[in-house]
Amino acid sequence: MATVARELSTAVRTRGLTRGFGGRIVLDDIDLEIGPGEFVALLGRSGSGKSTLLRALAELDDGVAGSGELAVPAERAVVFQDSRLLPWARVLDNVVLGLDGAGAREKGRAALAEVGLAGRERAWPNELSGGEQQRVALARSLVREPALLLADEPFGALDALTRIKMHALLRELYDRHRPAVLLVTHDVEEAVTLADRVIVLDAGRPAVDREIGLPRPRHTGDPEFVAHRAHLLAALGVEG
Ligand SMILES: Nc1ncnc2c1ncn2[C@@H]1O[C@H](COP(=O)(O)OP(=O)(O)O)[C@@H](O)[C@H]1O
Ligand SMILES: [Mg+2]
């Protein structure tokens, strides 16, 4: 099992991180560093180990066979494809769940306002659309002021229009709070639109590690955007 050490100079640091299931290696000896406040997108084919890596960084993989060193901040938040809200708890209660200390509810209200859900504190999760539920999930992660935000295909179940709005929201929240981000996605455009660095996982390793230096707002038609997309699609085995 991995040794877990804490340090501040990087948000994420792995050395020789290896994970496998039933003797099959999924993550093969990965050295990865993510700087404080760095926004990284992780691409890879289905089954390439993206979620396995994210779960390792979230320390949610207890009992999984593996080795290597891993250093991550204690203040982490994880967002999944489904919002994982408790259906029997109102929106604000979902946001502040497990958060103690004075002012928790005030912080929860402020986080809901930041994601555009002021006034919906007393709604039940099933009264919200899928996009709104993911906004609540983002508020719930924000309220913990994470140094590292781990998001596993958080917009994967949303319609195209809602997804575009959520991209803008995530980037806005990121600009304001500056956590390090690892965003798992299978959507190349989402990766190039949002991230400052894109990693492609293939055969258990980062096969591509590419800085995206495009100014913002980014336009999918920009020749540089098109070049990044073509390069990443090729790395994924898809010809553009
Ligand atoms: N709990 C598990 N038990 C057995 N195999 C698993 C488990 N989780 C993931 N795997 C396998 O590990 C590989 C990588 O899975 P995953 O990390 O979920 O890929 P991705 O998120 O890139 O689609 C897949 O072949 C998957 O079947
Ligand atoms: Mg996955």
Task: Say yes or no: 200 and 93 in one domain.
Answer: no
Task: Say yes or no: 139 and 170 in one domain.
Answer: no
Task: Say yes or no: 155 and 127 in one domain.
Answer: no
Task: Say yes or no: 91 and 40 in one domain.
Answer: no
Residue 233 lies in a domain: yes
- Whole-number pLDDT of residue 96: 97
Residue 189 lies in a domain: yes
Task: Say yes or no: 233 and 161 in one domain.
Answer: yes
Mutating to test ligand 1, I would choose from 51, 78, 150, 200 the residue with most ligand atoms within 8 A of its C-beta, which is: 51
Nearest partner of 205 among 23, 14, 7, judged by Cα: 14
User: Which of 145, 163, 194 is a domain's end point?
Assistant: 145
Pairwise CA distance, residues 127 & 111, whole Å: 19
User: Contact, 3 vs 70, CB < 8 A?
Assistant: yes
Q: What is the mean pLDDT of residues 79-104?
A: 95
Count of alpha carbons within 13 Å of 174, Cβ hemisphere only?
Answer: 22
User: Contact, 181 vs 39, CB < 8 A?
Assistant: yes
| Neighbouring C-beta atoms of residue 183, cutoff 10 Å | 26
Q: What is the mean pLDDT of residues 190-207?
A: 98
Checking if the pLDDT of 222 tops 60, the result is yes
Checking if the pLDDT of 3 tops 60, the result is no
- Whole-number pLDDT of residue 239: 75
Task: Say yes or no: 172 and 102 in one domain.
Answer: no
The boundaries of the domain holding residue 116 are: 86-145
Nearest partner of 115 among 39, 37, 40, 174, judged by Cα: 174
pTM for the predicted model, two decimal places:
0.95
Q: Which residues line ligand 1 (CB under 6 A)?
A: 21, 26, 44, 46-52
- Structural tokens at position 140: 């719930």
